[in-house]
């Protein structure tokens, strides 16, 4: 964590140092044994280096062992999914209207990404509507289509 930028390391989602409307969350998920806690901790460290705005990191997980205490960990909410292989459907739980009473703006990041530059724009982007959900396009399909 850089010393010239103040980060919010409170694990209390009801903290009052930032206006609720301005509260920023970075949410990630870790389940199973494909990725260990070092991936969550590494992501937190990259965010701390590349986000100049206050934020709270939240990890939805089935095992918080080894995760930095500055990261708020919560159980992954239950979803009624059909039997079969898990392919990331658990991520849909981040759209629950009342997700652990987190209030503010959230950015979901996978734990296996690499951040190499400033990510403030994810929080300063002005969407058309106040309650907009902004999602990236599937760039792999877009690029594949362009190559054909």
pLDDT of residue 120: 96
> Do the domain assignments include residue 2?
no
Domain that holds residue 37: 20-147
Q: What is the mean pLDDT of each run of 10 residues along the chain (148 residues)?
A: 33 46 91 96 98 97 98 92 76 88 93 96 88 74 56
Domain-embedded: residue 12: no
In the chain, the number of structural domains is 1
Question: So what's the pLDDT on residue 1?
Answer: 27
**13 belongs to a structural domain:** no
Task: Please give the pLDDT value at position 5.
Answer: 28
Residue 33's pLDDT is 92
Q: Could you write out the three-class secondary structure of the chain?
A: CCCCCCCCCCCCCCCCCCCHHHCEEEEEEECCCCCCHHHHHHHHHHHHHHCCCCCEEEEEECCCCCCCCCCEEEECCCCCCCCCCCCCHHHHHHHCCCCCCCCCEEEECCCCCCCCCCCCHHHHCCCCCCCCCCCCCCHHHHHHHHHC
Q: Is residue 10 part of a domain?
A: no
- Residue pair 115/50 in contact (Cβ under 8 Å)? The answer is yes
| Domain contains 8 | no
Q: Tell me if 132 is assigned to some domain.
A: yes
Residue 15 inside a domain? The answer is no
Residues 6+ apart with CB under 8 A from 25: 13, 55, 56, 57, 58, 102, 104, 105, 106, 107
Is residue 76 one of the residues assigned to a domain? yes
């Amino acid at each position: 964590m850089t010393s010239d930028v103040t980060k919010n390391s409170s694990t209390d989602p009801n903290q009052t140092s930032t206006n609720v409307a301005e509260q920023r969350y970075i949410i990630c998920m870790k389940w199973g044994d494909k990725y260990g806690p070092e991936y969550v901790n590494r992501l937190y460290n990259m965010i701390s280096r590349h986000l100049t705005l206050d934020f709270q990191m939240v990890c939805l997980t089935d095992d918080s062992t080894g995760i930095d205490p500055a990261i708020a960990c919560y159980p992954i909410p239950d979803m009624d999914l059909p039997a079969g292989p898990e392919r990331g459907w658990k991520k849909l739980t981040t759209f629950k209207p009342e997700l652990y009473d987190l209030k503010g703006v959230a950015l979901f990041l996978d734990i296996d990404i690499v951040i190499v530059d400033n990510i403030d724009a994810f929080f300063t982007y002005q969407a058309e509507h106040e309650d907009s959900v902004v999602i990236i396009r599937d760039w792999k399909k877009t690029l594949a289509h362009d190559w054909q």
